[in-house]
Amino acid sequence: MGTLLKRALDQAAVWHRAQRRKYPNADVPYISHLAGVAVLLARHGFDDEVVAAGALHDAMEDQGVTFDELLQHFGERVATLVLQVTEQDRSLPWEDRKRLYLDAFPGKPWEAQAITLADKIDNFQSIIVCSREHGDPWSMFKRGRDVQVARFEELRAMSRALPP
């Protein structure tokens, strides 16, 4: 593990220290998801900055970390990638935010798209783990199974046009 990724995981653990996965009947630190996203990206050959951005992908959205903080700690490319995968207007209703994100997805750089896909893949892997160890996985989601699967399917369909 490179020093950039180590610093990113350490900082993500601090920023997300009070956050937990939404597993029913289990207290799983959120860093497990962030590390899972980073591992997927590393496993598929992405460079250290993309992998670090994967580990930090929820910092702005979930913890209110600013672009300038990311820039100061991790440099312009990592900060920009995190910004590119962050929902921009949290004041909008959930459905509108997700639609805007999906609409913008095809125009994002490949590395940002890969972070988004790794995020969704890790979430679906967590659903499998949850179903085996913690109970009904779909109770983790306010909108339920069908909405989550439909969003994943939209991203999957868009990803067919992406580079290998």
The catalytic residue positions are 61-62
Residues 86 and 61 sit within 8 Å (Cβ to Cβ): yes
Task: Kindly write down the DSSP assignment for every residue of 143-159, as one continuous string.
Answer: THHHHHHHHHHHHHHHH
Q: Is 57 exposed, middle or buried (0-12, 13-18, 19+ CB in 10 A)?
A: buried
Residue 5 near residue 48 (C-beta atoms within 8 A): yes
Among 53, 27, 41, 37, smallest CA distance to 123 is for 37
